[in-house]
Amino acid sequence: MKEQIPPILRPDQVAPVALDDFAARFGLEVRGDASPVKLTGISMNTGDLRPGDLFVAMPGKKTHGANFVAKALEQGAVAVVTDNAGLELLGKLDIPVLLLENPRAHLGDLAAYVYGNVPGNMPKLFATTGTNGKTSTSYLLEGILRQLGEVTGLTSTAERHIAGEVIVSRLTTPESPEMQALIARMREKGVSAVAIEVSAQALSQLRVDGLHFDVVGFTNLSHDHLDDYKDMQEYLEAKLPLFTKKRANRGVVCLDTKYGLDFVKQSEIPVVTITSELGVDADWHVAITAETPKYTSFVLAGPNGVTIRSRVPLLGAHMAANAGLAIVMLIEAGFDPAAIAKAIENGIEAYLPGRTERVTGETGPDVYVDFGHSPDAFLNTLAAVRKVTDGKVIMVFGADGDRDASKRPAMAQVAVEGSDILIITDHHPRFEDPASIRKTLVEAAKAAKPEREIYEVSPPEAAIRKAVSLAKPGDAILWAGPGHQDYRDIRGVRTPYSARHEAREALKEHGWS
């Protein structure tokens, strides 16, 4: 089956931008006659280039974008921006060429100008970064904003939302031309507030350049992505640029991990702090009041006697912490705490696909599908499942191929220590040997808990059926890794696949509704 790639979203209408004005705005040298040219879009990728676009030809890892200018012309590019190295590759063109060294460093600003995303013309922008909880906090932010009467947008690992329209995501944070086009489409649809998930890679690769956020939030930092960053310090430093005057007005920092204090100390912008940990000094505190398989209730207390009570339709204290962070971000943006308290007094209305998502019917064991794929995510989610489970906790998980392999032993250790029965299976093997990945996980799990009941089952369709066959009413199954995703990456091919569907089918096959 052919891979279904989600579309790049653009506004339906763009006010044409004169190329002369564009060149003058950025001080660019123009080769050729720019006077008759109007821009209606911008692209760094010929796969999405449209008539009227400015094509940005940049140096890449393997080749220079200037080598694709012929294809860009075929698809309707009306001008090219490139550097001196690209200029040497172009030869003679019938369209204007604009000279700009290090074009990637300016790409976000170029795209913002083309799409009219300028100060005074923007929705409220919120950004969340951290290892875990970015997606959840973004969805909770959007849910509260909607309950406050805002027309909302969202861009996350899982989905894009535009005034009620839902589209599957391509990347956690899109490349800057796509991000700017998405924001322009949101403006066109009347969106007044946007929640954006921002990864470390997005900041390192300048994908949110050209945006200035009203409030930014930091959730936590734990072992992940050390295939991209040499150590935790470098990983931390990749996220810090979000808390600069160039990118944001104000910030909210969670102190539930030790790295929160680093953000507070190094932030260029004013920040307030929040924690769900006892004994930690912070401006705001989250306390859990009830935990059930269907919701977690909490109270948020802060300065001037502000107290907000609500609940999230999610399992776990960490989800309440994410909700607290979202609420404080809104308060820092100027929303009235009393209005927020009133809007969410009966709960925050948000559906988070694949985030500790319960896929069980009225009978049988509880089955949760979760996107967590780091040791810390496993720790929090297993603890949450354990709290609401009378019987055994059975865990199913695999590890990503061609990604940070250093975290695999820790994932296995946390998984085996937090569960009663562990089933190790496959996830996205990509170009790695899945049997080799499983072997590492099994060895680490057995080393940590040799007495534990551990199974190795491949493929994951068989693994979830094994888990259901071992489960009884009152037990819980946590299937970590796949979450909302509707594919598995096997040797570069996205094979259609849904963990939620497989889990439900496994329950049916074993007689549970």
Q: What pLDDT, on the 0 to 100 scale, is given for residue 228?
A: 67
Q: What pLDDT, on the 0 to 100 scale, is given for residue 224?
A: 66
Distance CA 282, CA 239 (A): 21
Of 399, 391, 387, 396, which is closest to residue 368 (Cα–Cα)? 396
Domains and CATH numbers, the chain: 17-114 (3.40.1390.10), 124-343 (3.40.1190.10), 357-509 (3.90.190.20)
Considering the entire predicted model, what is its pTM? 0.89
Helix (H, G, I), strand (E, B) or coil at 437: helix
Q: Exposed (0-12), middle (13-18) or buried (19+): which is 190, by Cβ within 10 Å?
A: exposed
CA angle 135, 189, 47 (to 5 degrees): 70
Helix ranges (H only) for 449-484 are 460-470
Query: What is the Cβ-side half-sphere exposure of residue 284, based on CA atoms within 13 angstroms?
Result: 27
Q: What pLDDT, on the 0 to 100 scale, is given for residue 484?
A: 83
Of 73, 77, 53, which is closest to residue 181 (Cα–Cα)? 53
Q: What pLDDT, on the 0 to 100 scale, is given for residue 236?
A: 87
Q: What pLDDT, on the 0 to 100 scale, is given for residue 166?
A: 92
Instruction: For the chain, give percent helix, strand, coil, nearest 5.
Output: 35, 25, 40
Phi, psi angles (nearest 5°) of residue 345: -60, -25
Residue 329: CB partners within 8 Å, gap ≥ 6? 126, 128, 141, 215, 216, 217, 252
Of 73, 383, 404, which is closest to residue 222 (Cα–Cα)? 404
Q: What pLDDT, on the 0 to 100 scale, is given for residue 4?
A: 46
For residue 271, the surrounding DSSP H or E stretch is strand 271-275
CA angle 478, 236, 105 (to 5 degrees): 115
Phi, psi angles (nearest 5°) of residue 39: -100, 135
Per-residue tens of pLDDT for the chain, all 513 residues: 334 456 689 999 999 999 999 999 999 999 999 999 999 999 999 988 999 999 999 999 899 999 999 999 999 999 999 999 999 999 889 999 999 999 999 999 999 999 999 999 999 999 999 988 999 999 999 999 999 999 999 999 889 999 999 988 765 567 899 999 999 999 999 999 999 999 888 898 899 999 999 999 999 987 665 666 678 888 888 899 999 999 999 999 999 999 999 999 999 999 999 999 999 999 999 999 999 988 999 999 999 999 999 999 999 999 999 999 999 999 999 999 999 999 999 999 999 888 889 999 888 999 999 988 899 889 989 999 999 999 999 999 999 999 889 999 999 999 999 999 999 999 999 999 999 999 999 999 999 999 999 999 999 999 999 999 999 999 999 999 998 888 899 998 989 999 999 999 999 999 997
